[in-house]
Amino acid sequence: MRKNVIAGNWKMNKVLSEAEQFVEETKTRIPGEEKAESIVCAPFPFLPGLVEKAKGSDLKVAAQNMHFEDNGAFTGEVSPVMLKDLGVTHVVLGHSERREYFAETDETVNKKAHAAFNHNLTPIICVGETLEQRENNETMNHIESQVKQALSGLTEEQVKASIIAYEPIWAIGTGKTATSEQANEVCAHIRNVVKQFSSEEAGEAIRLQYGGSVKPANVDELLSQSDIDGALVGGASLEADSFVQLAEAGAK
Ligand SMILES: O=C(CO)COP(=O)(O)O
């Protein structure tokens, strides 16, 4: 039985006081970790403060990106060693916004996935197709290629522990949610790809989130699907009440 994982991706929003207030307001209201995992993916400057505030609660704190090297001459970058040292548990890798605006590639996502596991961080690996790819019936091939490249060289245990977020680019921030059938169809495909690529057990164990205009009003329907094990939520994760509702849906 896979445990749902609900992650709020704040992207480039909030200031520190707002971020800390959010954690204060949510940390005692989210479901216990044994029922569902609840994560906030916050901008780098907030991470130490949020880890401190979330201590002793079931709320986990994630970064939205990182470099794949441990340290070195990479001005402006943040390493997995730094994140681990702060008490961060998860890291979002390969979000479509990073692929589009910051030259993230399947190759760097794969290097980062290895680096995450080398430092005991759980990667939330994002994949997804453009509207053009969907209209040209390229979705399944594109997703398969992204998944295989991201997971390349990981051990079976690491694949089992990974989280993949299926985020169709046309559904991000647009208010257009994929139908639960569309989302589940792609997640089922990802699971099959993982089964063939790694093992039957790894395919059964890996958790798959859907992301793209998820909100309290549509989360139940999405989570009721057989191959969807959580949500990666942008806009609707910014308000404490809305995040708590999403986290509660994960525990149903
Ligand atoms: O990109 C997303 C989460 O990573 C989805 O964003 P929205 O929920 O705002 O559509």
- Return the CA Rg of the chain: 17
Give me the residue label for tokens 């979705």: 139
Ligand 1, atom 8: closest residue by C-alpha: 234
Q: Please state the rounded mean pLDDT for residues 210-229.
A: 98
Which residues sit in the known binding site for substrate? Answer: 9-11, 173, 213, 234-235
Contact 66, 79 (CB under 8 A): yes
Is the Cβ atom of 65 under 6 angstroms away from ligand 1?
no
Tell if the pTM clears 0.95, that is, is over it: yes
Helices (H) and strands (E) in the chain, counts: 12, 8
| Confidence category of residue 1, pLDDT binned at 50, 70, 90 | confident
Per-residue pLDDT, 185: 98
Confidence check: pLDDT of 29 > 90: yes
**Cα 150 to middle of ligand 1, angstroms:** 20
Is the Cβ atom of 213 under 6 angstroms away from ligand 1?
yes
Catalytic residue status for 25: no
Q: What is the pLDDT of residues 135-191, one digit of tens each?
A: 999 999 999 999 999 999 999 999 999 999 999 999 998 888 889 999 999 999 999
Q: What is the ipTM of this complex?
A: 0.99
Q: Please state the rounded mean pLDDT for residues 84-99.
A: 98
Considering 97, 129, 167, 248, which one is annotated as catalytic? Answer: 167
Q: Please state the rounded mean pLDDT for residues 108-135.
A: 98
To test the ligand 1 pocket, which listed residue (6, 10, 11, 238) has its Cβ within 8 A of the most ligand atoms? 11
**Cα 94 to middle of ligand 1, angstroms:** 13
Per-residue pLDDT, 38: 98
Considering 90, 95, 119, 189, which one is annotated as catalytic? Answer: 95
Quick one: which of 248, 228, 100 has its CA closest to 172? 100
Paired strand residues for 42: 63
Catalytic residue status for 119: no
Q: Is 73 exposed, middle or buried (0-12, 13-18, 19+ CB in 10 A)?
A: exposed
Q: Of all residues in the chain, what percent carry a pLDDT higher than 70?
A: 100
Is the Cβ atom of 173 under 6 angstroms away from ligand 1?
yes
**Cα 7 to middle of ligand 1, angstroms:** 10
